[in-house]
Chains A and B, each alone.
Chain A
Amino acid sequence: MICPRCAHDTVDTVTTSPVPGVWDVLQCVRCLYMWRTTEPDRRTRREAYPVEFRMTQADIDAAPEVPVVPPLRVG
């Protein structure tokens, strides 16, 4: 299992369906993308994931801070 959005290979199981075995909610540890395994392929499979929403490590590193962390006020 790789992340559909950033292709990272470490994915956590966040929760599982209250009815056993129906779905899991997974999350990429790198880009934090979260998805349910029963969602359509366009949200769950790397090859079907839309190009415009894909993310890379460089995108994450370059992401601006909103809002910017202000300088610490001393004294």
Chain B
Amino acid sequence: MPYDDLRSFLDTLDKHGQLLRITEQVLPEPDLAAAANAAGRIGEGAPALYFDNVKGFTDARIAMNVHGSWRNHALALGLPPETSVREQVEEFARRWDAFPVAPERREDAPWRENTQQGADIDLFEVLPLFRLNDGDGGFYLDKAAVVSRDPRDPDHFGKQNVGTYRIEVIGRDRLAFQPVPMHDVAQHLHAAEELGEDLPIAITLGNDPVITIVAGMPMGYDQSEYEMAGALRGAPAPIATAPLTGFDVPWGSEVVIEGVVESRKRQIEGPFGEFTGHYSGGRRMPTIRIDRVSYRTDPVFESLYLGMPWTEVDYLVGPNTCVPLLKQLRAEFPEVQAVNAMYTHGLAVIVSTKKRYGGFAKAVGMRAMTTPHGLGYVTQVIVVDEDVDPFDLPQVMWAMSAKVNPQDDVIIVPNLSVMALAPAANTPGITSKMIIDATTPVAPDNRGHFDTPVRDLPETPEWTDRLRALLAAR
């Protein structure tokens, strides 16, 4: 059942009617990005898009919007396509408990079929690169799983990181990339640059759908993404040894790019339309020299459109942001029921919890801000009661409208950390954060008039079934 590569997942999407092949000739720009942008605007159940007739190319295969609907996300996890969002998050959380599942090393990686090295390296020969948004400074690799190791502890499997970062192609064999300080690769680069050493790196493109999900997932520094992929797949993740760096990379990748982040060097990068729905750019960022490219015959280039939400990236990093926060909160506060952190990678989150005693919900809100992911995100936490579903936004709005006394229930903490791309921060990287306590106060916090709530009638569940049956029988 689990997919070992992108191609087998595309086949499954196809069988479920969730892969749309665009056979008419399209322009690389603006058509590819505009079509993927449009996939996020046509409502529920949008398909992945596959292009192989792109003007000027003889040999282009491009997949976009692969994770770009709840149906596709469910299929990526091997669930029925109609599985609800909340059920997908709950299943994700259940599988998390199997972590760690050791990966399985295989020798016959299909990307060994073709190699470019040294002076022969030309990324444009391997990939049909194209621009996404008008203001982007160039062509980007925005859905790669990037592998790096801690130079102080290179043999530690867990500290080997697999993450997704924005990567700009700035030459046939050169890239610029953005290591956000809160992310693991930034720690690796910091350590290498302190020593004046280049940081070896492997950039893998076109991966099985679960590798892409774990690469975008906020995990602990010494937790292995491959061991998490195994837990989510329900089977060991297949990995192989990259030929130049010796790093562990996905067995099924379409393309494996190896090289080094050049020590202590920065070059102008961007702008790039980001997941915040805003461009960021005009900064000098680290550069990568490519030393070797390995790729499957007839590689498929997977890319992702991002811009004003919702786009594919919001589906991709929705559940995988909810679950770590849920687990980290529950570790100390088992009262926490559910976490919806699907808005801008968790810049705003909604937590439902039982209350241990008065003031408890506010403590849960503060803890959400101080989780590892919260340090860079979680600028707004809405805390709701245990009987409010945080994925049901009308219910959340009811809780806010009926339970919140702003004087007592809205708390603003100034000058906290946030990732530098957060557009509302005055000084990039520093922001105020807010807790909205939309729970019912409990003793000794005796505020408001909440002692006579109207609850669903005891007979209502029975009537729900009856109405459904009557409607179905019409």
A7 interface contact, C-beta 8 A? no
CA distance A70 to B286 in the complex (A): 13
Interface residues of A in 17-75 (CB under 8 A from B): 17-19, 22-23, 25, 27, 31-36, 38-40, 42-43, 50, 52-53, 55, 59-60, 63-67, 69-73
Residues of A within 8 A of B122 (CB): 15
Chain A residues lying within 8 Å of B59, measured Cβ to Cβ, are 18
B29 at interface (Cβ–Cβ under 8 A)?
Answer: yes
Stretch at the interface among B89-97, B192-200, B447-455: B192-200
Q: Is the CB of B282 within 8 A of A36?
A: no
Query: Are A38 and B27 within 8 A (Cβ)?
Result: yes
Q: Which residue of B lies closest to A24 (CB)?
A: B56
Cα–Cα distance between A33 and B134 once the two chains are bound (Å) = 12
Given contacts A63-B268, A67-B186, A69-B264, contact A40 B124 (CB under 8 A): no
B121 → A minimal CB distance (Å) = 13
* Proximity string of chain B (279-321) to chain A, C-beta cutoff 8 Å, 1 when within and 0 when not: 1001111100000000000000000000000000000000000
Query: Which positions 19-35 of chain B face chain A at CB distance < 8 Å?
Result: 27-30
| Contact yes or no, A72 B194, CB < 8 A | yes
Could you say which residues of chain B place their CB within 8 Å of the CB of A19? 55-58
Distance, CA A71 to CA B268, complexed state (A):
21
Question: Interface size bucket, A side?
Answer: 35 or more
Query: Is the C-beta of A2 less than 8 angstroms from some C-beta in chain B?
Result: no
Is the CB–CB distance between A32 and B58 below 8 Å? no
Q: Which residues of A contact B169 (CB under 8 A)?
A: 34
Given known A33-B137, A65-B283, contact A18–B29 (CB-CB < 8 A): no
The B249-288 residues at the A interface (CB cut-off 8 A) are 264, 266-269, 271, 279, 282-286
A66–B131 Cα distance when bound, in Å, is: 23
A14 at the interface (CB under 8 A from B): yes
Contact B56 A43 (CB under 8 A): no
> Main SS of the interface on chain B?
loop
Asked if A17 and B57 make an inter-chain contact with CB atoms under 8 angstroms apart, the answer reads yes
A32 and B138 within 8 A (CB)? yes
Please state if B178 and A66 are interface contacts (CB–CB under 8 Å). Answer: yes
Taking CB as reference atom, which chain A residue is nearest B285?
A66
Q: A71 with B28: in contact, given A18-B59, A34-B170 (CB under 8 Å)? A: no
| Chain A CB within 10 A, most for which of B29, B195, B269 | B29
Q: Report yes or no: B28 in contact with A36, Cβ–Cβ below 8 A.
A: yes
Distance A39 CA – B135 CA, assembled complex (angstroms): 12
Q: Chain B residues with Cβ under 8 A from A65's Cβ?
A: 266, 283-285
Minimum C-beta distance from A3 to chain B (A): 11
Q: A17-B56, A36-B28, A66-B420 are in contact. List 19 more A-B contacts (CB 8 A).
A: A17-B57, A18-B58, A23-B28, A25-B129, A31-B137, A31-B268, A34-B137, A35-B131, A35-B138, A36-B131, A38-B28, A38-B55, A39-B30, A43-B134, A53-B271, A63-B268, A65-B283, A69-B264, A71-B194
Q: List 19 A-B contacts (CB under 8 A).
A: A5-B137, A17-B57, A27-B138, A32-B138, A38-B55, A43-B29, A43-B134, A53-B134, A55-B282, A60-B268, A64-B283, A64-B284, A65-B266, A65-B285, A67-B286, A69-B193, A70-B193, A72-B196, A73-B194
A: which residues have CB within 8 A of B? Answer: 5, 14-15, 17-19, 22-23, 25, 27, 31-36, 38-40, 42-43, 50, 52-53, 55, 59-60, 63-67, 69-73
For the complex of A and B, list the 3 residue pairs with the smallest distance between their C-beta atoms, beginning with the closest: A17-B56, A22-B56, A34-B138
